[in-house]
Structure 1
């Protein structure tokens, strides 16, 4: 295999840390058989929980387990990849820059590339919108898939956004601080929680909400090559994609309407001996 391919290191020291972190959210993963064991695929997910984003780690590690030794990539903001120490560690874990160029290269290398079209806009949506897919009209992933002729596989997640109470995206504050020019962001989220009460952007402790990730079959429109410059087709594919993912998110929320209570119950059930019986109280 080419050394230029971003293949995650299975012995990376970050991996056990990531698994321990995601265990806090007692995750479940279904439909992983829809991810090909080799070859290119564009995995698209709905983004939650601001900086905590457990669905990202759960989805990515499920992809790694499905494709051992194969190129498997997630994307991250340039700020993270330029951070001393952290950037190199993330790259060795299979993380590539969040750009069309990097994603295109990953797919051309035969990689499964995980992207979150909604980005920080969706990840910072208000808690009251936690059951909503919100890609903010971003259609670059549609054009990329049509251009390269790769399957698009939704990875729909529920529960992560129940763990953090986001009051507002803070768009006005972001405009005042000119964050769009500084770090390409239109949000400066305000949250309420422990230990900071009501606060902007500070890392509140997330509640142990159960996070469910469902990989769906490849979307019909992505199984055939298409014209990335056909605006009407791109718009139609975008609407179909969002509607398909929203339907699945609605189903997951109907199955687990209170992810926090479910997560607490799961943790109690895992306690040793008779202590596990505490789960029956919920």
Structure 2
């Protein structure tokens, strides 16, 4: 019995097994898709993530039904917290919904696949190296894709900059227009407090070849997380100047900012 099969037998209840099996994925006879996604591994990951989602971070998700049940979708969110916890929780919220669940793909930083074992594990759980070519292929395959246009500018921000959106790149808008993908904005509140950083040691980061070297706590704090999914935003694919592309990006950014403010106003406590 392989490790995945053993863990599945110990961790995955029958109802969860059936739930994942109902979510159709274009996998081959060996159980993988071209990017490494594996249905059996996702079941184990899903089971473990449920404990974090429900008991540790006690996630409150609103509007997850706004994500279309089919077709190409970009789920665009603010990035925070030093670790990709936000993407994990967004993915679980969508995959666990009872009505027409979807298993989204997450675009990850180039650093993660360089970590031994971690890259393969993330691929098996649906993550894909975050470059425009991979994202385009995902959308052409009618996938739902989680993207963070702030990139490491967002995930590596310091605590005193919490909930201040950094610059968004325009790449996701070009892809949404080209592939006629809906954009669902998401405001994430709580992940800033899971691993707050007070400084970034840039020389150490450069020496280690990592995006940032935060000065932070050695543990992930159990902050309560709020996820607010907005209504889908659809943009035509007409050829327009780049400044108009930027204006569309700013529309999405403004909606995410509004959803963040909504989550902050709803939050009663940090933990």
Q: CA deviation at 1:252?
A: 1.1
The residue aligned with 2:269 is 258
Instruction: Decide whether aligned partners of structure 1 residues 174 and 236 sit closer, same or farther in structure 2, where only a CA change above 3 A counts.
Output: farther
Q: TM-score, normalised on structure 2?
A: 0.78
The residue aligned with 1:278 is none
Between the aligned partners of 1:79 and 1:62, the Cα distance in structure 2 is 25
Q: CA deviation at 1:188?
A: 2.9
- Structure 2, unmatched stretches of 5+, are 1-25
The residue aligned with 1:92 is 124
Give the match's secondary structure for 1:125.
coil
1:42–1:153 Cα contact (<8 Å) kept: yes
- Equivalent residue for 1:61, pick from 82, 85, 92: 92
Q: CA deviation at 1:71?
A: 6.0
The residue aligned with 1:28 is 60
Between the aligned partners of 1:225 and 1:112, the Cα distance in structure 2 is 19
Between the aligned partners of 1:233 and 1:18, the Cα distance in structure 2 is 39
Give the match's secondary structure for 1:39.
coil
The residue aligned with 2:177 is 146
Q: CA deviation at 1:82?
A: 4.6
Q: 1:154-202: CA deviations, max 9, x gaps?
A: 12110110222211344x5368x367xx45x3x33222x3xxxxxxxxx
2:74–2:176 Cα contact (<8 Å) kept: yes
Matched, 1:105 2:116: no
Between the aligned partners of 1:161 and 1:70, the Cα distance in structure 2 is 26
The residue aligned with 1:162 is 193
The residue aligned with 2:251 is 240
Instruction: Decide whether aligned partners of structure 1 residues 235 and 65 sit closer, same or farther in structure 2, where only a CA change above 3 A counts.
Output: same
The residue aligned with 1:212 is 226
- Equivalent residue for 1:132, pick from 164, 175, 185: 164
Give the match's secondary structure for 1:75.
strand
2:71–2:181 Cα contact (<8 Å) kept: no
Q: CA deviation at 1:69?
A: 8.0
Q: 1:197-240: CA deviations, max 9, x gaps?
A: xxxxxxx2122110011111112xx342243x621111101211
The 10-residue stretch of structure 1 (82-91 or 36-45) with the greater mean CA deviation from structure 2: 82-91
Between the aligned partners of 1:214 and 1:5, the Cα distance in structure 2 is 31
Q: 1:104-159: CA deviations, max 9, x gaps?
A: 1011001001111112211121212212222x242211111122221111121101
Q: CA deviation at 1:42?
A: 0.5
- Structure 1, unmatched stretches of 5+, are 194-203, 261-282
The residue aligned with 1:224 is 236
2:94–2:102 Cα contact (<8 Å) kept: no
Give the match's secondary structure for 1:78.
coil
The residue aligned with 1:189 is 214
The 10-residue stretch of structure 1 (148-157 or 104-113) with the greater mean CA deviation from structure 2: 148-157
Between the aligned partners of 2:222 and 2:103, the Cα distance in structure 1 is 31
The residue aligned with 1:46 is 78
Instruction: Decide whether aligned partners of structure 1 residues 245 and 69 sit closer, same or farther in structure 2, where only a CA change above 3 A counts.
Output: closer
